[in-house]
Amino acid sequence: MSENLPIPVIVAGANGKMGRETIKAIANAPDMTLIGAIDRTHIGEDIGEVVGIGALEIPVTNDLEVMLAQGAQEKQLSVVVDFTHPDGIYDRVRSAIAYGVRPVIGTTGLTEAQIHDLTVFADKASMGCLIVPNFSIGMILLQQAAIAASQYFQHVEILELHHNQKADAPSGTAVKTAQMLSELGKTFNPPSVVEKENFAGARGAVVGENIRLHSVRLPGLLAHQEVIFGAPGEIYSLRHDTSDRACYMPGVLLAIRRVLQLKSLIYGLEKVL
Ligand SMILES: NC(=O)C1=CN([C@@H]2O[C@H](COP(=O)(O)OP(=O)(O)OC[C@H]3O[C@@H](n4cnc5c(N)ncnc54)[C@H](OP(=O)(O)O)[C@@H]3O)[C@@H](O)[C@H]2O)C=CC1
Ligand SMILES: O=C(O)C1=N[C@H](C(=O)O)C[C@H](O)C1
């Protein structure tokens, strides 16, 4: 492997909202070269034309296996970035690892058990793999601030708000945030009354150490999260708002570079910053 060659990158979900941003970011990254674009429509069309930046000489294909085989043959270690859909993402990550193509997974919806299985699989193969529910640096900072605050608060709930094209709920970011707070060795929200939900779901989903997650889906929203701490007489809220998917791109490019240095699966961008 040569250190001086650009990193070969395949993008899965290339025509989608995140895939398009990723194609543009890779096209502008001097240390990366796009070698494949995978999606289910625009098959055979040049992905550069599809995303509106002019020809890149990379036709869209729906054949993941062929692209992974090509990635495995590159002189430099290659990476597949996935922004597709929760359905089938577990199998796509396994295939990439099996082919020796380093996965950077932005697609959400993997369960804890699936992440555990993939960790074991990647470890056995000594393969780097990054699963990143949120590539925004601002969100990573919010999560760090929430960890700091949770030392001092016993009560916390998480509200996440997204566009109504989102397939999964709660968001991968909200789940990850709850998991991070749950690793701190305390159980949140001791009950103060016996609660009864008169309409199912009114109190949200419980994740980790009794943390409640509430999901809002509306057109007009992009991606937003609020971590709300409460104590007698005060509320401490941490909020992150996105207004453009470009906000994820510095994190995506960083993850592509970092995954090449890893020999195991890492869940969360904060661990490789
Ligand atoms: N980690 C992060 O920071 C972020 C993660 N996300 C996550 O990324 C994922 C994608 O989001 P987004 O770009 O908004 O979604 P989009 O629906 O806009 O894009 C997904 C694209 O992937 C295609 N696709 C779906 N399944 C497959 C498949 N099996 N093989 C090939 N292509 C496929 C879709 O095709 P079709 O239209 O035909 O279904 C579509 O073109 C979601 O899980 C979302 O939660 C989003 C933003 C940030
Ligand atoms: O679907 C989205 O849009 C987003 N998905 C990710 C998630 O589920 O956390 C990241 C971000 O919230 C945008």
Q: In what order do the strands lie in the sheet with 155-162?
A: 205-207, 211-217, 155-162, 223-231, 234-241
Binding-site residues for NADP(+): 40
Q: Does domain 137-241 have CATH number 3.40.50.300?
A: no
Which tens digit of pLDDT belongs to each residue from 209-223? 999 999 999 999 999
Could you tell me if 75 and 6 are in contact, meaning their C-beta atoms sit under 8 angstroms apart?
no
The predicted structure's pLDDT at residue 1: 56
Backbone angles phi, psi at 162, to 5 degrees: -140, 165
The predicted structure's pLDDT at residue 3: 65
Measured by CA distance, the residue closest to atom 32 of ligand 1 is 39
Token duo for residue 133: 């529910």
* CATH number for the segment(s) 7-135+246-271: 3.40.50.720
Average pLDDT, the chain: 97
C-beta 170 within 6 A of ligand 1: no
The predicted structure's pLDDT at residue 2: 57
Domain ranges of the chain: 7-135+246-271, 137-241
Q: Which of 85, 115, 222 to mutate to test the pocket of ligand 1 (most atoms within 8 A of CB)?
A: 85
Could you tell me if 25 and 253 are in contact, meaning their C-beta atoms sit under 8 angstroms apart?
yes
DSSP the chain: --TTSPEEEEEETTTSHHHHHHHHHHHT-TTEEEEEEE-SSSTTSBHHHHHTS---S-BEES-HHHHHHHHHHSSS--EEEE-S-STTHHHHHHHHHHHTPEEEE------HHHHHHHHHHHHHTT--EEE-S---HHHHHHHHHHHHHHTT-SEEEEEEEE-TT--SSS-HHHHHHHHHHHTTS------SS----SSTTTT-EEETTTEEEEEEE-TT--EEEEEEEEETTEEEEEEEE-S-GGGGHHHHHHHHHHHTT-SSEEESGGGT-
Which tens digit of pLDDT belongs to each residue from 59-89? 999 999 999 999 999 999 999 999 999 999 9
C-beta 134 within 6 A of ligand 2: yes
- Which residues are known to be catalytic? 162, 166
The Å distance, Cα 225 to ligand 1 centre, comes to 20
Which tens digit of pLDDT belongs to each residue from 171-214? 999 999 999 999 999 999 999 999 999 999 999 999 999 999 99
Residue 21: CA count within 13 A, CB half-sphere? 16
On the question of pLDDT at 224 being above 80, the answer is yes
Residue 206 carries which side chain, given as an amino acid letter? V
Q: 0.90 exceeded by the pTM?
A: yes
Which tens digit of pLDDT belongs to each residue from 240-260? 999 999 999 999 999 999 999
Residues 6+ apart with CB under 8 A from 240: 136, 138, 139, 142, 224, 225, 226
* ipTM of the shown complex: 0.99
The Å distance, Cα 117 to ligand 2 centre, comes to 23
Residues 6+ apart with CB under 8 A from 58: 34, 35, 36, 37, 46, 47, 48
